[in-house]
Amino acid sequence: MNRLLLGATAAVVLLATGCSASPAGADADGAPLPVVATTPQVADFVRTIGGSDVQVTQIIKPGVDPHEYEPTPADLQAIAGAKLVVKNGAGLEKWLDPTISSAGYRGPVVDAGQGVPVRVEDGNEQDPHIWHNPLNAKIMVAGIAKGLSAADPGRSETFTRHLAAYTAELDKLDAGNLAAWEKLAPGQRKLVTNHDAFGYYVDRYHLDFVGSVIPSMDTSAELSAEQLTDLVARIRATGVKAVFTESSLPPKTAAAIASRAGVQVIGGEDALYGDSLGPAGSPGATYLGAEEHNTRTIVTALAG
């Protein structure tokens, strides 16, 4: 049904935009470069590097699950009128290519994940949650700055300056995370989350990932009764102190597992930002704020 809707909408979009193939470069009057970004994290990166020289349309809103996202007619219209599209990559936006095709967009697409070492599990499944390692985020924003400069060469110097400043912020974030984890003994660094979204974070900061409520890197899988019992047993056996919910996922099952295991569940305002960022005004409204919140929340809970 969604594909039929997009197909019907595409014709209207093409008529409204003059069937144009998105031209490169800023408008002649110096207006901001119109950019479409797929996820909240990528949109935040583009806004930070582009500043007032870009006008960003963010497709996936805060708190929305990117794994199950279905594009809307408004998304097609935004893509059709863009001069640059920026995606996370690493297999996250499986819906994007057909959406771009339906919109008639033939301009550049920046894959922010290009150059990031991608984790692979179960033989061939890519882990798309690349941003949870600040070192990967540095690669992502460098690619975004390059894409913005190619689309709008006249503002390349500004984009490069913003990149340098933000790269320093990412280094500061990583150093702060490392310092926070050094306060905990290795035996305390055990993590259970809603789903397997923190693999890059776990690898970077040398944590012990005990398991997840949803046994997958996407959110479509469900625990069987046997898997649920096994996870509860592992939580008890390993001495895990908490089960962490995520802002974009229902907390009910995580709370039930925590109750059965006799540990606390971390949710509500303390829920982790796994697949998404938070709304404006929340601690996770930006990438930096979300990652700082995650580290502070996890370390505080595991420290007991």
Q: What is the pLDDT of residues 115-145, one digit of tens each?
A: 999 999 876 789 999 999 999 999 999 999 9
Domain count, the chain: 2
Beta carbons of 242 and 263 less than 8 angstroms apart: yes
Measured distance CA(272)–CA(303) in Å, rounded: 17
Last residue of a domain, one of 175, 199, 217: 175
Residue 212, beta-bridge partner list: 193
Written as six digits, the tokens of 115 are 């150059």
User: Exposed (0-12), middle (13-18) or buried (19+): which is 296, by Cβ within 10 Å?
Assistant: middle
**Phi/psi of residue 208, each to 5°?**
-105, 105
CB proximity list for 186: less than 8 A, separation 6 or greater: 206
Q: Is the pLDDT of residue 155 over 90?
A: yes
159 and 205 together in one domain = no
Measured distance CA(277)–CA(147) in Å, rounded: 23
170 and 190 together in one domain = no
Last residue of a domain, one of 175, 202, 218: 175
123 and 98 together in one domain = yes
Residue 109, beta-bridge partner list: 85
**How many residues does this entry show for the chain?**
304
Last residue of a domain, one of 156, 175, 194: 175
132 and 7 together in one domain = yes
167 and 258 together in one domain = no
The domain that holds 58 is classified in CATH as: 3.40.50.1980
pLDDT, one tens digit per residue, over 30-43 is 899 999 999 999 99
46 and 151 together in one domain = yes
Q: Which of 299, 277, 275, 300 is nearest to 288 (CA)?
A: 277
Beta carbons of 302 and 190 less than 8 angstroms apart: yes
Containing domain of residue 66, as a range? 2-175
211 and 246 together in one domain = yes
Q: pLDDT over 90 for what percent of the chain?
A: 77
Question: Rounded to two decimals, what is the model's pTM?
Answer: 0.90
The confidence score (pLDDT) of residue 194 equals 87
Measured distance CA(102)–CA(7) in Å, rounded: 6
